[in-house]
Copies of this chain bind each other. A is one copy, B any other.
Amino acid sequence: MDKSVITITTDFGIKDAYVGVMKGVILSINPYAQLVDITHEIEPGNILEAAFLLKDAYEYFPKATVHLVVVDPGVGGKRRPIAIKAGKFFFVGPDNGLFWPIISDNKDILIVHLTNRKYFLEDISSTFHGRDIFAPVAAYISKGVHLLDMGVSINDPVRLEIKRPMLLKNQIVGSVIRVDRFGNLITNISEKDIIECFGRLSGLEVEIGGRKIREISKTYSDVPRGQLLALIGSSGFLEISVNRGSAYELFGKEAKGLKVYIKPNLFDS
C-alpha cells in the first residue's frame, strides 16, 4: 500500500509554493507515495469545474489511488473536511460538492467526516487546510490507515447541482460547459444521452450559436481543415471542434454556456 499513487487537483495555480508545500507534507509522512498532478489551474473556487474534471479522470488510475482535491472557497468556515472510499479509490477534500458526481455514481461508498486531529498537522491554520488537514490525511490513507480511524461516517454529503441536458421527443437541448486547451467546446450531452433519445449517432444534426453541423463525425479529420464539426470526445461527451483549429475562436467568449441542439437530419438520413 505504501507505494500507492496520490493525485492532486487544486485551484492553487503554479506560481506560489502552495502545491509544493502539500507535497512536502505528504512525503514527510509517506516517502514512497507516487505523486501525480492532475491540474492546479481550476478556476479559483470553481467547484463544478473541479468536480467534472475529477469525474473524467479518476478511473484511469491504479487501484487504491488517493485523489486529493482542494478547491475550497469555504476554508476556515463550517464546511466539513471529508475522506471517501468509493469502489477501489479514495478521495480527500472539503465537503462542498466536489465529490458529488463520484458519490452519486458509486454504490460501494463510505464517507467520513475527518475529526481525528492525530492525522492532521499539529498547527492548523484557518486558510490552508490543503497543507494542514487534507495532505496529511491523504498521506496516511496511502499508508493504509482506515478511514473510520480518522473520523465518523456520514451520509449527508453536500450535493452539487449539475445542469443536465433536456431529452425531448426527437430533440436534445444541452449546453457547452467547458472549453479545453485546444478550443474544443465540451457539452453536457453524453453519448449515452444521444443513444437514449434517438437510438443512434448517425443521421443527426447539431446546432450551436446559429450554425448547423450536418452530422456527428467520428474524428477531426472527417471534415476539411478549418471546418466546424461535432464528435463524441474522449470522455464520452459531445464536443464541438474545428479540425486543426479552435471552435472557441469561432464563438468567442460566449462559447461557454451556449445552447446545443441535436435533431434528426431530415435531408440526409
List chain A positions with a Cβ less than 8 A from chain B: 3, 5, 7, 9, 11-18, 20-21, 23-25, 27-28, 31, 34-41, 44-45, 53-54, 56-57, 60-62, 65, 73-78, 125-128, 131-132, 180-182, 218-221, 231, 233-234, 239, 244, 246
Contact = CB atoms under 8 A, between A and B. Distances in A.
Nearest to A233: B127
B20 A41 contact: no
B38 A35 contact: no
A31 B34 contact: yes
Contact of A60 (B24, B221, B244): B24
- One complex includes copies of this chain to the number of 3
Contacts of A57: 17, 20-21, 24
A131 B59 CA distance: 12
Contacts of A11: 181
Contacts of A128: 233-234
Contact of A27 (B31, B36, B44): B36
24 contacts: A5-B24, A9-B20, A14-B14, A14-B37, A14-B39, A14-B40, A15-B39, A15-B180, A16-B53, A16-B181, A17-B38, A18-B180, A20-B36, A20-B37, A20-B38, A23-B36, A24-B61, A24-B65, A27-B34, A28-B62, A44-B181, A45-B244, A73-B244, A75-B220
B125 A234 contact: yes
Contacts of A16: 39, 53, 180-181
B60 A25 contact: yes
A62 B31 contact: yes
Contacts of A76: 218-221
A231 B3 CA distance: 38
Contacts of A15: 39, 41, 180-181
Nearest to A243: B73
A24 to B, nearest CB: 4
Nearest to A13: B181
Contact of A24 (B7, B23, B219): B7
Contact of A219 (B14, B34, B38, B127): B127
Contacts of A62: 24, 27-28, 31
Contacts of A56: 17, 21
B218 A126 contact: yes
Nearest to A42: B15
Contacts of A181: 11-13, 15-16, 18, 44
